[in-house]
Structure 1
Amino acid sequence: MCTTPDAPRRSQMRPEEFEELARLAFRALEGLQLEFLGGRLGVKPRSGGNHGCVIEWLVRSCFQARPELWLHSHGLRMRGTDGGRVHPDGTLAPAEAFVGQGEWVDADRVLMVVEVTDADVDADRRDRVEKPRAYAEAGIPVYLLIDRDSAEIIVHSQPDGVRYETVHTLPFGKAVRLPDPVGISLDTEPLKNWVR
């Protein structure tokens, strides 16, 4: 195909096209979620097994400490250069924050996002490199990474619009205080049961 210098070329999928693809794939690829970040399509397995135990532990911990907040499972529309779409393992926000918004919600009411590592190499890059950047660009106050490979909990906070200025890493078994606006303390001892 020949193009003239002033003819527009489309090199990336639009976020709206991705949402439609994800909706169709959800039906066809049960057990998988699609993400669109950095202009690339990613596939994320749904949680189960030990990964699911970690999420259930976190749901209970958050609800006991702050019952007005829920750990939601919606997909997020990201602000930033590519308008990505991600499916965090958990999204902490007020209980009614996403009423009527559907599967993909705006990140403006999110207090914390959570990712739990899996054996997938692609997910590893996304959880440790791409998502912290995207979450910081979106202004999400806290990003909690539960790293089952290294048996560590990594708390990212103080987003400056490009990155998180503060990152604390603690081994499983230590108590961790999630900074405001989350303000929840977690006993991470149970996480030792769900490493790889």
Structure 2
Amino acid sequence: MTVMAERPMTSGTESDSFEDLLRTLDELDVPDGYKAEIIRGNIVVSPWSRGYYYRVMRLVCRQLEPHLPAGHSIGVGPFLYVFPGDERAYGPDIHAALDSAFETTSHRLDGEALSFVAELTSSSTRDDDMTDKVEVYGRAGVPVYLLLDMQEECATVFSMPSAKGYKSSDTKPFGEKLAIPAPFDCVLDTTDFTAP
């Protein structure tokens, strides 16, 4: 039996092009329970979430689904969204995107099709979720990025994407309600987001 710590494993070198990294990612045999992303010129393999994260992800999806923009779907799971301009490829915990983005045989999806992403932090992903992804999602024009800080038990919604990331953010502790801006224009109840 192999025991792995909850920290990301990286692969890649400065000389690898983004396309080389994507090809390597295509061929990578990721172990069950792990996901692979491209962050800052490296392939990062990190463990999937703790069990109760699924409850939180489903609660987010159920609350946002009635407010989705027309022609968009929301879900959880291992989809890889590519951001070529930033040479990144992320597998967000929760994602809402144009239905047409899924009309492909590729597992690489267009990051610009996203209308919403949410990341649930873990000790291995927290830094990238709070820095790199805020900038990349914002520059790509993703209207809403929800960061659920599972260690600090608070939710931050980022909105108003710009060339430097997001211009607006609002943070609430778990247990409070958080306004989710356009194109959703709804309120997210975070009452049941805490650990069991």
TM-score in terms of structure 2 length = 0.82
Q: Gapped runs of 5+ residues in structure 1?
A: 1-9
Residue 49 (1) aligns with residue 74 (2): no
1:151 corresponding residue in structure 2: 153
Task: Answer with 1 or 2: which has the greater Rg.
Answer: 1
User: Which residue among 38, 48, 61 is the counterpart of 2:63?
Assistant: 61
Same amino acid, percent of matched pairs: 25
User: Which residue among 6, 9, 14 is the counterpart of 2:17?
Assistant: 14
Q: Gapped runs of 5+ residues in structure 2?
A: 1-12
Judge conservation of contact 1:80–1:137 (CA < 8 Å) in 2.
Answer: no
2:174 corresponding residue in structure 1: 172
1:147-182 CA distances to partner (integer Å, 9 max, x unpaired)? 111110000111111121101100111111210012
Backbone CA RMSD of aligned residues: 2.2
Deviates more, 1:61-70 or 1:86-95: 61-70
- Show structure 1 runs of 4+ deviating over 6 A: none
Give the distance between the partners of 2:145 and 2:30, measured in 1 at CA.
31
* Greater strand share, structure number: 2
Residue 99 (1) aligns with residue 140 (2): no
Judge conservation of contact 2:35–2:46 (CA < 8 Å) in 1.
Answer: yes
Judge conservation of contact 1:22–1:33 (CA < 8 Å) in 2.
Answer: no
TM-score in terms of structure 1 length = 0.82
Give the distance between the partners of 1:24 and 1:166, measured in 2 at CA.
38
Give the distance between the partners of 1:178 and 1:30, measured in 2 at CA.
33
User: Which residue among 73, 94, 111 is the counterpart of 2:115?
Assistant: 111
Residue identity matched to 1:173: G
Give the distance between the partners of 1:70 and 1:59, measured in 2 at CA.
10
1:78-113 CA distances to partner (integer Å, 9 max, x unpaired)? 1434x2111111111234432215211112221111
